[in-house]
Structure 1
Amino acid sequence: MTTDASPNPRRIALFLLLMVLVGLNLRPALSSLAPLLLRIKADTGLTPLAIGALTTLPVLCLGIFAPLAPWLAKRTGPENALALALGGLILGLFLRGMPAVALLFVGTLLVGAAIGIAGTLLPALVKRELPGGADLMTGVYTMALCLGGALGAGLSIPLANLLGGWRFSLVSWGLLAGIALLAWITLMPRSPRQATATPTGGSMRQLLGQPLAWQVMLLMGTQSSLAYIVFGWLPTLLQARGYSESEAGWLMGASVMVQLISALGAPWLARFSRDQRPALLLVLGCVGAGLWLLLQAGEAWRWPGVVLLGLGQGGSFSLALTLIVLRTANSRLAGKLSGLAQGGGYTLAAMGPLGVGVLLQLEVSMTTMTSVLLLIVAVAAGFALLAGRNLRLDVDASGRLTTR
């Protein structure tokens, strides 16, 4: 693919369509698991700690495998690398539905690896295809992620009831991934790889020496930790408060659906200023308020809590991804920062679901659980104050990476 001054409108429209279709597949494999955890536990006999590991494993794999995306893209081309990731996602979804409990974990591992690679490739592709509007297009991509997450959470129980079990419910999402893979392979516009002139300089070692890169990564990690705690444990926490299995799943699904609004709107909000700190603090405040209302307030406050949590999480994730393109000068640096931010960030984020599993094993009170979650929100806000500043990673005339 090449980027020029007069991009082809048809090419842009096709790329956006494919980007949305791929994005729809990068969350159902995660969000569809949470509403089914009690059924999985009852059917397999797994302990709460093992169930916690099951929710942590895909997030950990997001972090471990995300840094491989730039390496894989360099050797096979980003289009082929993304196709391989979608193929791995389909295989992982299939394995999760097999009778052996070990394959449930293996499939979950493969799902996390595939999503980690695909999710890292897309921001760099957006930066390259649409450099002038990369931040807004990242919002569209995040909206697709949120819609996929909402569908996974909301349809998980109905699919299990319709298809005759939780295994079939998990496997069924492979159909959507298959459609995305077929569309990507047949419709993706391609250009000779050598036609793209990539600037030199800005190695990963230099990137690791830039505080701004670490700040973006730590923001990604802390806000993602909250997101994957919600994906992995919110239905269980709501059921502990007395909600039914189905209602808990739909409350989480509704919250993820609300994320569509802020996922698309947050990048527009961020554009009003070159400093994204006010926007980041606003959405993180919504996350904190939503969690408190859902876990501490009365039942009458559950829907305001759902809305606030959804607005906050959709906006914080969209802005965190947007910072990857706003804080870099070109697509090559965006790809490297994407690998670092999502790789290190998701590795850090994996500690969130595991920590909640440990707390549930220890049978802590809901007040203690809520306090821990609000502490994570506060830490994320601290990193937002650093990563949200008007700075950018660029390569100087001598080929060295600098922050300007």
Structure 2
Amino acid sequence: MRDVLDEVYPWYRAGESFGLATVVSTFHSAPRRPGAAMAVSASGTVVGSVSGGCVEGAVYEETEAVRASGRPVLRTYGVSDDDAFEVGLSCGGTIQIFVEPVSRRTFPELPDVVASLNAGEPVAVATVVSGPDDGPGALGSHLVVRPDRVLGTLGSAGLDRAVALDVRGLLHHGTTALRHYDTVGRCLDGEESAGLGELTVFVGSFVPPPRMLVFGAIDFAAAVAELGAFLGYRVTVCDARPVFATASRFPHADEVVVRWPHEYLAEEASAGRIDDRTVVAVLTHDHKFDVPLLTTALRLPRLAYVGALGSRRTHRERLTRLREAGLEEWELDRLSAPAGLDLGARTPQETAVSIAAEIIAAHWGGTGRPLTRTDGPIHIATASDERPPAPAAAD
């Protein structure tokens, strides 16, 4: 929903009703991940995508029908790889989509979700995507969950408590997933009952964007910052030299900080603004900056990636200095240096692509090899991909 919210919220504020289609689960290869959304206004305007073109036409018609009827539906589009093109899912696999009417009446909590997103607060929306037409766990009911409070209801206090408890765990990790319950709130996600619950709840987690900290105000940093912003990171460029660390030199960065890098990183960590999604790119090429900064970074328990630019000779000298600073080998093993994948990059822009590719591979567990030289699924399975969607309402 987040990817279409800026465009559809004016419809909501104007009192219009619109249809919202959301990917709630995928199995095997699928073009969009859970949470991807497409909305259709009363005038037929379309924003967003649920399949990259594979089943957009069918989903558009379903969304129009739901907006007109006011009745949400859960639909499953899935075929074998051999028949994929005939049905319209070009990559095969299965995609399950929940289509609901959205208006001030059906989703009165939406303004609070928007307010949390605008304030950078973590928030999750739990939606019943399979359940009874009324009563506890009514189809299409919403529960908005923040770390410290809950808004809305799924129809009963017990169900709200159980779902909110689970959702907070998912929200902490920024996870979007399906959960299964009975109407009194007992979780039915065990091995024997998974997918067979009376209620299926889709949890969409919205957390502030992950951070990319780029240290070293050089031309390579400008390229890395631009690509980091493109990938959805909140980018900070930090350097101790005010003549180089200026906003005009880094227009794609969200902020430019003039500080000693290791001091800034330590303060951000102490303030709780560093988490396990944060990536650090050290581009300074200067031991007086690199060594204290990397010593600090590699001792932090919660960083997704730490990379340092430089030649192999520079890196050998850097490792010697880091060992002299007291770092253990297991801490040094966390360092990606020279940073980036072997693309033969030469320019700052090419180097930025190389570093970004390594960050993506580290996040998803990719090999970094050409796809023509690999076998098996293109997309590596995650927990949400392990189980096929429930067969209810299959088309």
Q: With CA pairs under 8 Å and 6+ residues apart, which has the higher RCO, 1 or 2?
A: 1
TM-score of the two chains, using structure 2 as the length reference: 0.23
Normalised by the size of structure 1, how large is the TM-score? 0.22
Is the helix fraction higher in 1 or 2?
1
Kindly indicate which of the two structures has a greater share of residues assigned to strand.
2
